[in-house]
Chains A and B, each alone.
Chain A
Amino acid sequence: MPATFIHRSILTIGFLSLFHAAYSAAQHRSYLRLNELDFTYLPHDITIQALISLFIIMYGVLHVAGDFKEIKASAELEDKSWETYGNIPSFYTFSHRGGKCSNTNSKTSLEEME
């Protein structure tokens, strides 16, 4: 299935969520700095949000990038007939005897009919 609007919006949501986690982490650091506390680890909710948004972005990128094609050379030709594949436009001939033989298409017969 090709990339749909849903996958694009999933990707956007993932990026926004990651940005939000980054902003929260920066806020936490400034809070620690103002209260003169030492940094040990981030709050768990920020960690979990960052990890989940990473997985959401992975999923979105994988589906937005496109579909895989079958690498076997015969895969493309399976649903085509020999007439389609053997069609060579250089060998088309339009000035053949058919125009002379048929009465309906030739100029003289048109004039005679009038």
Chain B
Amino acid sequence: MSNKTKNEPVIAYSELAIRNNLSIVEYCRTSLAAVSGCTAGVLGLTGSYGAIFFILAVTSFWLMLLCKAGVDSWKKFFISRKSLLLNGLFGHFFTYILCWTFIYGMVHVY
């Protein structure tokens, strides 16, 4: 126990700050899913091209998020950067499909 604490000092995190950061990220990702779905509908993507476009959009948003937090200093704001990319991916994918099909129908079908 004492050896462990000597090697890695315990870091106390402020729960309020973590909650605040994650809620900001969640807000951004939800709106990103909706807007990228609209863009995919405008572009008229079909089938697996739409899924690939979603993956590209999410990845580029993740990179922009890390740029905003700072490439070196993201550890100040988030515990893990992998969970920033992967958390709730499927839930956002359904939002994406909703907007994608809706805008595709508005622009290309009618």
A residues lining the B interface (CB < 8 Å) = 18, 21-22, 25-26, 29, 39, 41-42, 46-47, 50-51, 53-55, 57-59, 61-63, 65-76
Instruction: Tell me whether B38 is interfacial, beta carbon within 8 Å.
Output: yes
A58 to B65, CA, bound (A): 10
Instruction: In the A-B complex, list the 6 residue pairs whose CB atoms are closest, starting with the nearest.
Output: A69-B17, A73-B12, A68-B77, A73-B14, A54-B39, A22-B42
A73 pairs with B13, CB closer than 8 A: yes
Instruction: A89 to B60: give the CA distance in the assembly, Å.
Output: 50
Chain B residues within an 8 Å CB radius of A65: 24, 27-28
Interface residue SS majority, chain A: helix
User: Given A50-B42, A72-B14, A75-B14, is A57 in contact with B35 using a C-beta cutoff of 8 Å?
Assistant: yes
CA of A72 to CA of B12 in the docked complex: distance in angstroms? 6
**Residues from chain B with Cβ under 8 Å of A63 in the complex:** 68
A-B contact pairs, 27 of them (CB 8 A): A21-B42, A22-B42, A25-B42, A25-B43, A26-B108, A47-B43, A51-B43, A54-B39, A55-B60, A58-B32, A58-B61, A61-B28, A61-B32, A63-B68, A65-B27, A65-B28, A66-B20, A68-B20, A68-B68, A68-B77, A69-B77, A70-B14, A70-B77, A71-B79, A72-B13, A73-B13, A75-B17
With A22-B42, A54-B57 as known contacts, state yes or no: A62 contacts B106, CB within 8 Å: no
The chain B residue sitting closest to A66, CB to CB, is B24
- Nearest neighbor of B13 in chain A, beta-carbon distance: A71
Extra inter-chain contacts (12) besides given A54-B35, A66-B20, CB under 8 Å: A18-B39, A22-B42, A25-B43, A41-B44, A46-B42, A50-B43, A55-B60, A62-B61, A69-B77, A71-B17, A71-B21, A75-B14
- Say if the beta carbon of B6 comes within 8 Å of chain A: no
B residues in contact with A18, CB < 8 Å: 35, 38-39, 42
Min distance, Cβ B63 to any Cβ of chain A, angstroms: 10
